[in-house]
Amino acid sequence: MDRFDSMRLLMRVVERQSFSAAASDLGVPRSSATTAIKQFEERLGVRLLQRTTRHVTPTLEGEIYYRRCKAILAEIEDAEAALTGSEVRGLLRIDVHGPMARTHILPGLPAFLGRHPALSLHIGEGDRFVDLVREGFDCVVRGGEITDSDMIVRRLGLAQEATFASPAYIERHGIPRSPDDLDGHEMVGFASSRTGQVLPLEFSVAGEVRNVTLPVRITVTNSETYAALARLGFGLMQAPRHHYAGDVAAGRLVEVLPQHPPTPMPISVLYPKSRQLSPRVRVFIDWLVEILAPKF
């Protein structure tokens, strides 16, 4: 392992706080990673990492060297790309909301990876907010207002939201004509990943937002399960309209109260402030802007 590979390994160990996770990310055996860091420390004559039974953390010297390594490697990648026109390469780790991935990102991947044949992707899917640095992600795509993140947040667009219910639910409860007609109705509960509380339904009424909380029989934390329960008739749900256009066209869901839509949902990409933006992350974010801006 040459000096630059050792620097990359050190950076990943610090970010993942684990030799095993870092070795897996970089495709090397854990024993090789441990040996490489040991040799790196011996060559420098300083301890870079503090090892415990549960975590690996940088020493003061290790933290300083880690930050210098990030800047050096980012400059090298940029310099090589600028001077040689070399392809963006390496593994890009992203996390994205599942319906967003399947509706907008996956269909465009053949063209994107065709532009960058030396780039590979690891795609995580989730509704929760991940710890990018600790979990080894380069960036995440999320919906909703983000006000307390220590990440850099770049807005990609606004997704129009809608209220949905199944035909079976409508048959039992009827179609409300306004938010005032929701007595006797139910909703599928969706718990916030931040607070754990069930999110209310939102309706635009005379230029203002009205929050309505209806009785809930089932509460979930996953958007796919949320939609599945709505299709089964367990209550009203609110979600981006474009994600479920196919369900509406196929008759699995019906849009309810279209004249009183929820507030649009911001779509954003987040990446760490402490990590210099690499060429592979930069081209991915530019591509997201390219494919999502016309749709939102």
Is the pLDDT at 146 greater than 70? The verdict is yes
Query: pTM value?
Result: 0.67
Average pLDDT on 245-274 reads 91
Q: Residues 274, 275, 277, 281: is their CA dihedral positive or negative?
A: negative
Q: Residues 100, 104, 106, 112: is their CA dihedral positive or negative?
A: negative
Kindly report the CATH number that applies to the domain delimited by 161-263: 3.40.190.10
Calculate the average pLDDT of the chain.
Answer: 86
Digit-coded pLDDT (tens) for 115-130? 999 888 888 886 666 6
- 79 or 174, greater pLDDT: 174
Is the pLDDT at 86 greater than 70? The verdict is no
* Residue-level pLDDT at 230: 97
Who contacts 103 (Cβ-Cβ below 8 Å, separation ≥6)? 242, 243
In the chain, where the domains are located: 3-84, 90-158+266-295, 161-263
Burial zone of 7 (CB within 10 Å; 0-12 exposed, 13-18 middle, 19+ buried): buried
How remote is the C-alpha of 227 from its chain's centroid?
Answer: 19
Average pLDDT on 227-254 reads 95
Ranges of H-type helices in 174-258: 223-231, 245-250
Q: For residue 1, give the amino acid letter.
A: M
Is the pLDDT at 79 greater than 80? The verdict is no
Kindly indicate the confidence band of residue 3, based on its pLDDT and cuts at 50, 70 and 90.
Answer: confident
CATH 1.10.10.10 for domain 3-84, yes or no, is yes
Is the pLDDT at 147 greater than 60? The verdict is yes
Q: What are phi and psi of 290, to 5 degrees?
A: -65, -45
Kindly report the CATH number that applies to the domain delimited by 90-158+266-295: 3.40.190.10
Same fold, 90-158+266-295 and 161-263: yes
Q: Which residue has the tokens 């390994």?
A: 9
